[in-house]
Amino acid sequence: MNPSIDDTPDYAAALRLDGRAFVVLGAGQGIGRQAAHAIAGCGGRTLCVDVDPQRADEVANATGGVAASGDATKRDEMERLFTQAHDSFGRLDGLVDIIGGAQFGSLADVDDVAWDREFDHNLRHAFYAMQIGSKLMDQGGAMAFVASVSGITGAAKHAAYGAAKAGLMALVRSAAVEFAPLGIRVNAVAPGSIGTPRARAVLGPEGIARSGANAPLGRVGRPSEIAAALLFCLSDLSSYMTGQTLVIDGGVAAKFPYGARSDY
C-alpha cells in the first residue's frame, strides 16, 4: 500500500543505505574517498575503485569495502569492475563516479590529443558506468556523478573541460529519462572550487585563498561537503529527484559580479 500524503516518513531511516551495494569510481582520495566513507557510514557496502591500487586498498580498509583497480576509460576494464562488485555483494544498487580533471588550455590552441583526453577523462567513463551499471542494477537504485560548474558557466581556458562536463550533465538527463522505468535514478553534483589534494597541489596556498575569497561563503569547499550531496543523491531522501545537477559552489554562481557599489 502506498503511504498516505499525510504520513510522516522516518527521515533518518531514509538516509540509511543498509544492505545496499555501490561502486565508487575514483575512491582513492579527495571527494571519492569521502564518498566511500559517507556510504559506509550509512550502512552501504562499496567497491572502492582507483587507478592506484595502493590508494584503493587504503580506502577499502578504512571503510570496510572491497578494493579494486582499473582504467575507467576502457570498456573491458569497467565491465570487469562492475562484475566484481556484483559478484562480491550479490547485488548492485548504485554507483558514484567522481573521476575527472582538467588540463586547461586556450580554445584557439587546444589540439586533438588534448581534446580527446578531456572527453576520455571526464565523460567516457560516465557513459560506460551508466551503460554497464544499469544492466546489473536489477533491483533499481541510484547513480550519482560529479560534474563541474565549468560545464554551466564559461571561463577562459576551460573550453574542452567545460564541454566535457556539460556533456556529462546532458548524459545524466538522458539516462534519468531512459532508466526511470527500471527504477534507477540518475543525478549529478557540480562543485565549484573544492580543496581536494589535487586542487591544493595545483593552485597552491595563494590560489586556494583567491578561490575562497571569490565565494560568498568566504572559503573553498571541502571534499566531504560534495560527498554529503552525493550521499543525498543515493539515499531515499532524494527518491523523487532524477535528471538533476546540484550546484555546490559556496554561492559563486549566485553572486552579482560587480559587488555592492551603489552606482551599478
Distance CA 93, CA 144 (A): 12
Distance CA 139, CA 157 (A): 42
Distance CA 231, CA 234 (A): 5
Dihedral angle at the C-alpha atoms of 252, 194, 248, 255, nearest 10 degrees? 0
Three-class SS of residue 89?
helix
What CA–CA distances, in Å, run from 209 to 97, 156, 201, 214? Answer: 28, 20, 13, 9
Among this protein's residues, is 161 annotated catalytic?
A: yes
φ, ψ at 69 (rounded to 5°):
-135, 145
Three-class SS of residue 73?
coil
Strands 45-49 and 21-25: parallel
φ, ψ at 46 (rounded to 5°):
-135, 140
Of the residues 128, 161, 240, 264, only one is catalytic, namely 161
- Hey, which residues are catalytic here? 161
